[in-house]
Structure 1
Amino acid sequence: MKNQSFLSDLSLSAVSAGFISVLVGYASTLVIVLQAASASGASTDMLESWVWALGVGMGIGCIGLSLYYKRPIIVAWSTHGAALLITSLTGNSIEQAIGIFVFVGALTLLTGVSGWFDTITKRIPLPLASAMLAGILIQFGFNIFGSMQTEPLMVGIMFITYLVAKRLLPRYSVVAVLIAGFISAYWLDLIKLEHVSWSLATPVWVWPEFDISLLIGVGLPLFIVTITSQTLPGIAILRSTSKEKLPVSSLISWCGGLNILFAPFGAFALGYAAITAALCASEESHPDPQKRYIAGVFCGVFNIVAGVCGSAVVGLFAAFHGAMVAALAGLALLGTISGSLVSAFQAPDYRESALITFLVTASGVSFFNIASAFWGIVIGLIALAASRVNKGMSENKNNG
């Protein structure tokens, strides 16, 4: 029955959403991951092992969790964490780096088992979570027209395709945009496949070395950045896209377990995706929210393919033109951006704090290497508390 249910839920739009989420994730941030690996002193074989560990680890998480919870749950590497590692690992050994990754996985597992992360996220109101999501995604909307300035013909074709398909074949509008983008990019000679090396990656096991000063100086910041900049917005998106209760503690625990398992091969920090999760949880994935988990499953499938192919995927995703990827992501996220803005500003009592959350998140401001999504929520909650205090004082004054 379960197989029959899966087959009946299968749809081209959901499979496409899974592919696009992997394409966007790898094409936009894989270079940062490879720079982090190089900073750790990784050899060429170890670079491929990092891609293998991240791809297979994320893939197993996406497939297993999406199938079990019947929701598009997307495990992803921490991009901000990779950026932190570029400046923090230089001069240290690869064994010490692996020790840091195991340490971060253990902290994540402890966070899930203790339940404190679930307690915190439950206190974030939906309008503020939606405002944070809109702030994260708004740049992708801007990138549609920024990329149109760079490659007007290709992006123009993609944009017109989206407008037409949205009205004639709304369920397959993003699929149509993907096809139109690939054909136009190929026609304009903007896709370079000749340098792609079609070889499989070989995982390389490295025994971890634990240096207490590095665990505190690099491991702890990496854990904090991953939780605040990756997992917090990722969990908020999962909550904002469904009314069903989310077992946050279990999800965090599974993520920590995967991180520990794949850390010796190069999985530096795993969390829950925000942007790619929004792609898979959107209406473009499937009109029926109960069938969007298929996008999560195929996101996992494509992640595993990307990881196993190793060196090939590095060249393949580099072959896609940046303007095509940017426009594809922006057009796929338009519906989610619109829905998030409506949800954020619908309730008058939350409107001001939601606006502040949106603006802080969209600004990209960063303090202590912690990204704007975290600060947007923090400052938005402060603004909400202040507005409630002022409202209470005003009511007391009127009653008096």
Structure 2
Amino acid sequence: MAGRAQPVLAGVVTALVGFASSFTVVLAGLRAVGASDAQAASGLLALCVACGLAAAWLGWRHRIPMSVAWSTPGAALLVATGPPAGGWPVAVGAFLVSGALVVAAGLFPPLGRAVAAIPKPVAGAMLAGVLLPLCTAPVRALVELPRVAGPVVVGWLLLHRFARRWAVPGALLVAVVAIALTAPPTGLSGATLTPSVTLTTPAWNASALVGLALPLFLVTMAAQNVPGMAVLVGYGYRPPFGAALRATGLASLLAAPAGGHAVNLAAITAALAAGPDAHPDPERRWVASVTAGVGLALLGLGAGVATALVAVAPPILIEAVAGLALLGALATALAAAVTDPATREAAVVTFVVTASGVTLIGVGGAFWGLVAGCLMLLLFHRRSPAPPTAPDQSAEPASPGQPAQPAQPAAPGQPAQPPTPGQPAGPARSTPA
């Protein structure tokens, strides 16, 4: 009995941690691009249900713990981008296009390979620039609201030291207590606490397609789907990337009219369902991801309450909790951006342009940061001269002064190359036909 309950409990923990750690980021992002409180609550509910359905289907179908979540970096991108020209309907149109691109990447492997071909330092720097404004919110909150934000940050620090996975949920709990103590008695009187779906007719314009839909697709792929696959490969699974993209992309398309911005493979919480803590037998861990999906869908019923709490809270306090949730992602993105000295300057240019928040011809800074970084790589890339080849050599020579080296294995938990749609990666367990 204990063995059967273990993956179920792991799934419940995965759902709770995933929801509590980043729903504030989602609500902040949806409101930043023009959603009303009712539309933001609808978007959060739609994301929870869509993630739950996709996780349940992928886990049951492939017997692999393929956890599904919303795109937390994508929500941070919405905060950095702000309302597009045309308002909320145009944002919904961008969500639909982003979801369609994910489905296309699952159907056509060359598109997935093209995304994977974006230099990792540039992609990491773009993500870091997107996350930076939210990650500075805890500092600003300590200055503007020290008596409220101070306990939140202290709680996060203590839990981060002794129980890391509960650090952000714990900080959120402290923030909820602070909101309850400081909010006016009638603050929730006009709020709609029951779950409801508000559909929006999408609209499109060129600037939103380039400045919002395309960056949302790239951030979701580079910061969520590819790392999520890497976690599964690291635990010895051979997940079908194409099927995962098709399922999560379709879930994004279904959630978009109700306000959901993006559904993807989980990266931050993926290890909770795929690791040995979920079950000693790797063949049983898929139960944890299915349970997490069901749990997340049920947590979506509280979207109205969550949105109401956010609505009565000081905006800087909600941003502070969201920023604490994203500090780990920022550290990872910065490390990926500046590790290689040869591409460091291009990565810094990408980071600076993206973080500046500039808008040019209606297109936000994330797109221009990506363009600036790629141009830097093209302009300053120096090709090494080809070494001379002896007439009687049949094999290609090594670089001058360097002996030929065998291929190095990937680091534990990381695939040698990012997996591409239609090409399963890693050793391990095949999925059923």
Tell me, yes or no, if structure 1 residue 124 matches structure 2 residue 118.
yes
For the structure 1 residues 9 and 223, does the alpha-carbon distance in structure 2 shift closer, same or farther, using more than 3 Å as the test? same
CA distance in 2 between partners of 1:372 and 1:357 (Å): 9
Distance apart, 1:188 and its partner CA: 3.1
Tell me, yes or no, if structure 1 residue 379 matches structure 2 residue 372.
yes
Q: Deviations over 1:55-102 (max 9, x none)?
A: 533543455557866355434588489943734969xxxxxx999987
What residue ranges of structure 1 are gaps of 5+ in the alignment?
38-43, 91-96, 209-213
Structure (1 or 2) with the greater helix fraction: 1
TM-score (norm. length: structure 2)? 0.65
Q: Which has the larger radius of gyration?
A: 2
> Which residue is equivalent to 2:26?
25
Q: Percent identity?
A: 22
Match runs of 1:159-178 below 5 Å: 159-178=153-172
For the structure 1 residues 48 and 182, does the alpha-carbon distance in structure 2 shift closer, same or farther, using more than 3 Å as the test? closer
> Which residue is equivalent to 1:349?
342
> Which residue is equivalent to 1:331?
324
For the structure 1 residues 16 and 171, does the alpha-carbon distance in structure 2 shift closer, same or farther, using more than 3 Å as the test? closer
> Which residue is equivalent to 1:94?
none
Distance apart, 1:144 and its partner CA: 0.8
Tell me, yes or no, if structure 1 residue 271 matches structure 2 residue 262.
yes
Tell me, yes or no, if structure 1 residue 86 matches structure 2 residue 81.
no
CA distance in 2 between partners of 1:85 and 1:267 (Å): 20
Match runs of 1:1-400 below 5 Å: 6-7=7-8, 9-10=10-11, 12=13, 15-30=16-31, 32=33, 34=35, 53=46, 56-61=49-54, 64=57, 70-75=65-70, 79=78, 83-84=83-84, 86-87=86-87, 109-110=103-104, 112-189=106-183, 192-201=187-196, 218=204, 224-225=210-211, 227-238=213-224, 239-240=226-227, 242=230, 244=233, 249-261=242-254, 266-267=257-258, 270-272=261-263, 280=269, 298=292, 301-302=295-296, 305-306=299-300, 308=301, 314-389=307-382, 391-392=383-384
For the structure 1 residues 131 and 82, does the alpha-carbon distance in structure 2 shift closer, same or farther, using more than 3 Å as the test? closer
Distance apart, 1:237 and its partner CA: 0.9
Q: Deviations over 1:231-270 (max 9, x none)?
A: 211111133563648866444433443355456xx34674
What residue ranges of structure 2 are gaps of 5+ in the alignment?
279-284, 389-399, 401-433
Distance apart, 1:118 and its partner CA: 0.3
For the structure 1 residues 252 and 148, does the alpha-carbon distance in structure 2 shift closer, same or farther, using more than 3 Å as the test? same
1:26 counterpart SS class: helix
CA distance in 1 between partners of 2:93 and 2:344 (Å): 45
> Which residue is equivalent to 1:93?
none
For the structure 1 residues 328 and 278, does the alpha-carbon distance in structure 2 shift closer, same or farther, using more than 3 Å as the test? farther
2:262 counterpart SS class: strand
CA distance in 2 between partners of 1:122 and 1:234 (Å): 12
Residue type of the partner of 2:250?
G
Q: Deviations over 1:250-295 (max 9, x none)?
A: 44433443355456xx346743579xx67646x9x79969969979
For the structure 1 residues 13 and 261, does the alpha-carbon distance in structure 2 shift closer, same or farther, using more than 3 Å as the test? closer
For the structure 1 residues 311 and 18, does the alpha-carbon distance in structure 2 shift closer, same or farther, using more than 3 Å as the test? closer
For the structure 1 residues 268 and 15, does the alpha-carbon distance in structure 2 shift closer, same or farther, using more than 3 Å as the test? closer
Question: Is the CA contact (8 Å cut-off) linking 1:66 and 1:73 kept in structure 2?
Answer: no
Distance apart, 1:155 and its partner CA: 0.9
For the structure 1 residues 88 and 185, does the alpha-carbon distance in structure 2 shift closer, same or farther, using more than 3 Å as the test? closer
For the structure 1 residues 5 and 353, does the alpha-carbon distance in structure 2 shift closer, same or farther, using more than 3 Å as the test? farther
> Which residue is equivalent to 1:211?
none
2:193 counterpart SS class: coil
Residue type of the partner of 2:24?
L
Q: Deviations over 1:22-64 (max 9, x none)?
A: 23212442474535x9xxxxxx9x9987776555335434555
Deviates more, 1:294-303 or 1:114-123: 294-303
Residue type of the partner of 1:137?
L
1:330 counterpart SS class: helix
CA distance in 2 between partners of 1:334 and 1:378 (Å): 25
Residue type of the partner of 2:157?
L
